[in-house]
Amino acid sequence: MSEMKPFYMEDGSVVVNLSVALCKTNIDVLESDGFRVVVDRFMKSITSSSNRALFKLVSKVESTDEMISIYKKLFVFSFDELLENEKGFNQYTEYRTEFITFTEALYDYWRNFERYGILKRHVLSDSLDNSALIDTTTHFWKNVLWLYRNILNNLRIKPLSIYRQTPGGFNAGFIVSPSSNSLPSIYQNLYDIDVINAVVIRTPFIGHSFSNTRKGLFEEVKHNQIKDLDLYKSHWLCFPIMVGDLYAHVYFHRSFMHHGVSLSNLFEPAFKKYQDSEKPDMIYVYGDKETKDDKTVYIDEENDIYIGYVSRKKEHDYFGYMKKMLLTLHNFYKIKHGELPIHGAMINVILEDDKERNIVIIGDSGAGKSETIEALRFIADDLIKEINIVFDDMGVFFMRDNKVYAKGTEIGSFIRLDDLETGYAYKELDRAIFLNPERNNARVILPNATYEFISRAHEIDYVFYANNYVDSDVSFKKFKDVDDAVMVFKEGKRKAKGTTSEKGIVTSYFANPFGPVQLKSKVDPLLEDMFGLLFTHDVFVGELYTKLAVDGQEVEGIKDAARGLMKLIK
């Protein structure tokens, strides 16, 4: 296969192959092809409408080679020393301020890219020391920062007195290994794609995508689109993960590197299963060229593998397409195997008297599930010892010994910033991945549970439907009849909150467009059987009024719902 290029740069991101382009010294950085590309692109971006100092300098220093040559000299000598000793340098006598402005702007230009380093092993093993990735990325950051400071000091009349430890290195790094090529031969188009076995993230990680909402459903097709792929494999990575108790291979294009990084805060890595050549339950290809089978699911019944495919169209550059396709594949699999996917949140609450309560809140995007849980943390902090997340977006109900239990799919939360308690996300900066924080529907991804905890069987004490549109005087109501409850849960009504392209009051079968809608005939009996068992075992089934979509009640409504929950369970 073709090797990944040493340095790749596109509109918003940079990918460096550290296996062949490792800059061990400051001079290595100055002499690298990557540095040349960055300087060249920056100089070409400067026009007569740019900052006047920048335009004045690039009008004087006309070539990238000349600018890099000057920087090599400035790395060793001060501006005044060059004026005194370097023949011909006196032509820049009046350009000290312009060089300072250019250096500051060049550094900011570099830092505005999402920057990724990839270090490749040549054996498929998880026993090697992953500290090499941390050491390499840290060393590169120090080199870039020292280079910037040293040149700036040599330009200034007075030396720097305030030093800001700005993140000028990589935002994230990967250790990758060769493919095991152990998939069934029908999937040979995915052979020879390097697999991720370790990730380092410089937090807070801030990712930006072209789109900020997800549109439409993922529909089942009868054609296996993987057979038609023609991938340029050095542009792809495979991330093996666990989605609940299902094992998935996630293949993503380098243009979607920010979504690959985001997976690490949301799903459990599963490199050991990959190393052991276990057959995946699911395969997702995210970022290929568009086909007629775009945004689709295919069920390979012969190999019992569920296939997802989403193209690299700009509108698909949104983490919702990564997360929700994986959950859709999970849900298709679970429905086909007799379990009921739950689009909702579940928490295990430990009260101050050590009694436990397991609460499930069901609802579609923007219904207030996660927000109610976060509000409960603040409002009932003195009454609750622990709140443990079983699932934050998608889980599953299953039957065992004629009783319903639940388990989760994710180890993290993908939450709207606007709907969190003010400042909460910023208290978690050292673990946070922010996505489009400056835009509407800004999100943060935070790890919040261990895989061992979410994947065990949890008993259920309370089940609520999250109603975000009714301005009720009460926090919740209890259903007295199973048929009434099933009707409300099936209808899946909510007011759209801008998390998708929907507007106004909308409905979605069982509040779950990620599997149940597509397989309604199979879900109907599962839903009725399981809710029947919940009522049989006197589980509290009700409707929770979050008011998240009620004008003026977005914050207080969530707090009221949390207070009502606390009174009920204590």
pLDDT band at 1 (very low <50, low <70, confident <90, very high): very low
Where on the phi/psi map is residue 362: left (φ > 0), alpha (ψ -120 to 50), or beta?
Answer: beta
Question: Which residues, 6 or more positions from 399, have their beta carbon under 8 angstroms from its beta carbon?
Answer: 405, 529, 530, 533
Closest CA to 346 of 411, 395, 381: 395
Q: Give the pLDDT confidence of 412-431 residue by residue, as tens digits.
A: 988 878 766 666 666 677 88
Q: Which residue has the higher pLDDT, 182 or 3?
A: 182
pLDDT, mean of residues 15-44:
89
CA distance 322 to 301: 23
pLDDT, mean of residues 301-322:
96
Q: Give the pLDDT confidence of 557-569 residue by residue, as tens digits.
A: 999 999 999 999 9
Across the chain, mean pLDDT equals 91
- CB-CB contact of 163 with 146 (8 Å): no
340-411+448-569: which CATH architecture?
Alpha-Beta Complex (3.90)
Q: Where are the domains of the chain?
A: 7-155, 179-336, 340-411+448-569
- Is it the case that residue 271 has pLDDT exceeding 80? yes
Q: Give the pLDDT confidence of 184-231 residue by residue, as tens digits.
A: 999 999 999 999 999 999 988 999 999 998 888 899 999 998 988 999
Give the pLDDT of residue 304: 96
Rg (CA), the chain: 27
Give the pLDDT of residue 268: 97
To the nearest whole percent, how much of the chain has pLDDT over 70?
A: 96
Q: Which residue has the higher pLDDT, 189 or 27?
A: 189
Strand 114-120 with 172-177, pairing: parallel
pLDDT, mean of residues 114-135:
78
- Is it the case that residue 53 has pLDDT exceeding 80? yes
> If you search the block for the tokens 């990724």, which residue do you land on?
116
Give the pLDDT of residue 311: 95
Give the pLDDT of residue 389: 92
Q: Residue ranges of the alpha helices (H) in 432-502?
A: 451-454, 482-491
pLDDT band at 125 (very low <50, low <70, confident <90, very high): low
- Is it the case that residue 456 has pLDDT exceeding 80? yes
Considering Cα of 51, then 55, then 61, then 67, what sign does the dihedral take? positive
Q: What is the 3-state secondary structure (H, E, C) of 147-194?
A: HHHHHHHHHCCCCCCCCCCCCCCCCEEEEEECCCCCCCHHHHHHCCCC
Where on the phi/psi map is residue 402: left (φ > 0), alpha (ψ -120 to 50), or beta?
Answer: left
Q: How far is CA 531 from CA 330, 468, 526, in A?
A: 21, 22, 9
To the nearest whole percent, how much of the chain has pLDDT over 90?
A: 74
Closest CA to 69 of 31, 12, 17: 31
pLDDT, mean of residues 123-135:
70
